[in-house]
Amino acid sequence: MEDKMQAFMQELLHGKKYVRLSLDQLRAFNSYLANAGFSISRMEAIKTAGARTGRRLDYDILVLPEHEEGWSIFADPDRSRAQVVDIVDQAVREGGTFEFLVWAEKPSG
């Protein structure tokens, strides 16, 4: 699993700048990112099976400096991890199959 997490990190830093993850992969990679001092700066959720398929804006993350609350969460990798855990828990309760596009950065400061 560590090799997979490192491959995702390489893709973020040196490849497409985002990774496409299943719900289970997101759980693991979210912790890996936070442990490395990274936070999720953008996340798009797509429900691929079950009721209400398609893009799910209610599970998205978009960090912008002018949105103080989101920015303060992004600035703390542990808070970012907790935010993603909350989103994943909501998706699990809803049921169905999800994919997530994830961008991550190391907060400056």
Instruction: Please enumerate in sequence order all residues whose Cβ is within 8 A of that of 108, keeping only pairs 6 or more positions apart, or say none.
Output: none
pLDDT band at 109 (very low <50, low <70, confident <90, very high): low
pLDDT at 77 over 90: yes
Note whether 90 and 84 are within 8 A (CB): no
Q: Give the architecture (CATH level 2) of 2-105.
A: 2-Layer Sandwich (3.30)
Q: What is the pLDDT of residue 1?
A: 80
Instruction: Provide the β-strand partners of residue 98.
Output: 47
Q: What does pLDDT average to over the chain?
A: 94
